[in-house]
Amino acid sequence: MKKITSFIGYIILIANAFFCGLFLISAYSSYINPARFPILSTTGLAIPFLLIIVFAFFIFWLFIKTRYSLLSLVVLLVAFPQIRAYAPINFNTSLPNDGGRPIKVLSYNVMSLGGFNGWDQENPVMQYILDQEADIVCLQEYNGAYLSKRQNREIEKLYPYRSYENIGENGSCNTLALFSRYPILSTRTLPFVSKYNGATVSALKVNNDTLYVINTHLESNKLDQHERESYEQMLIDPKADAIKTGLPHLIRKLGESASIRGKQADYIAEEIKKLPKNSFILLCGDFNDTPNSYTHRIISQDLNDTFIRTGNGPGISFNRHKLYFRIDHILTSKNIKSYDCKVDRYSKDSDHYPISCIITLD
């Protein structure tokens, strides 16, 4: 019996080591270029699941054979920066009294303002935006046709400076909107090679400074209705046949989209480097990628992620089809201080939750 128990223990330890290896690959998949290894780069999506498994092994060995728990503990410590990126914990993130002139920023993929509710009808998505009274609002998938006359007047009153830029092929597939209480000096569209997605760069005059606002909507995963239903079914009823046939196709499609986003991220990173030295930069938008992705790492290499620095928890920002990830982000240059970044999960009229924070120019 002692030999059998030891054998079973070694089998469990080998499984522990296997999942620890997978977790490390997943945690640091942001260093895998999706253009070269598209499928491998998607392993970052599995971080929450693998984290639970590795932590469960740690607890198991802690009570069964303490020294074996060191394997999981070391792996958790090595991956801690990536765990923190996925689900940060911050204290005292509110704006101090001497924090300077606060600027509230809101970023929101509005899904065409939730769809068509009838002409000249009160739109709940737009009403949410108006109620927030943010100073700078970056919107993706905007469609101003679905608004009441009253809401249009309210927009003009709150935001005297606005920019609407069509992106994608022929410039008519998607609209990035910028609402601002500060004068918009210029706006240009970055020439992505994309059918539906893109980014804009706007220069805002904030008091005596220039703030560059980059509004982004990067390549989506383009999962059709059938593929989304298959994914949900795999979660509800993970049968071997369904996983064997559906999962490889899903991963391959995610890898293809990640490869396109990686190139878009490289392009945005180069554009950021071209801005004047020591510029104030605010980058918002729907990355369609997590904080543990190549896309996020490349774009944020000279910027700070406001949620990682001042948010709490996983901050899930997509709310459809059981795809629970934070794919909407607000980044700032290092000369901007950020406070109280949060994802508002009470606004459910779009397939994304809005993300907001307070910033001050240092």
Task: Note the pLDDT tens digit of each residue in 194-225.
Answer: 888 999 999 999 989 999 999 999 998 765 55
Alpha helices (H) along the chain: 2-27, 47-64, 69-78, 80-86, 124-132, 149-158, 225-236, 240-274, 294-299, 306-310
| Alpha-carbon gap, residue 272 to 279, rounded angstroms | 9
CB 131 within 8 A of CB 155: no
Pairing mode of beta strands 209-217, 280-286: parallel
pLDDT of res. 155: 96
- Residue 37 DSSP SS3: coil
Query: Is the CATH code 3.60.10.10 the one for domain 103-223+234-361?
Result: yes
Averages of pLDDT over runs of 10 residues in the chain (362 residues) are 76 96 96 90 92 97 93 97 96 76 94 73 91 97 87 95 88 85 96 87 95 96 58 52 57 83 95 95 96 96 96 91 87 96 90 95 84
Cα distances (Å, whole numbers) of residue 23 to 67, 85, 146, 312: 20, 15, 45, 22
Q: Where are the domains of the chain?
A: 2-86, 103-223+234-361
pLDDT of res. 291: 96
Q: Which two tokens stand for residue 261?
A: 């986003």
CB 72 within 8 A of CB 13: no
pLDDT of res. 96: 76
Cα separation of the two ends of the chain: 67
For 85-116, write each residue's pLDDT tens digit: 999 999 988 887 765 689 999 999 999 887 66
Read off the pTM.
0.91
CB 321 within 8 A of CB 228: yes
- Residue 351: phi and psi, rounded to 5, are -80, 0
Q: How big is the chain, counted in residues?
A: 362
pLDDT of res. 116: 60
pLDDT of res. 98: 63
CB 293 within 8 A of CB 271: no
pLDDT of res. 115: 66
| Alpha-carbon gap, residue 24 to 6, rounded angstroms | 27
pLDDT of res. 324: 84
Average pLDDT score over the chain: 88
pLDDT of res. 303: 97
pLDDT of res. 9: 84
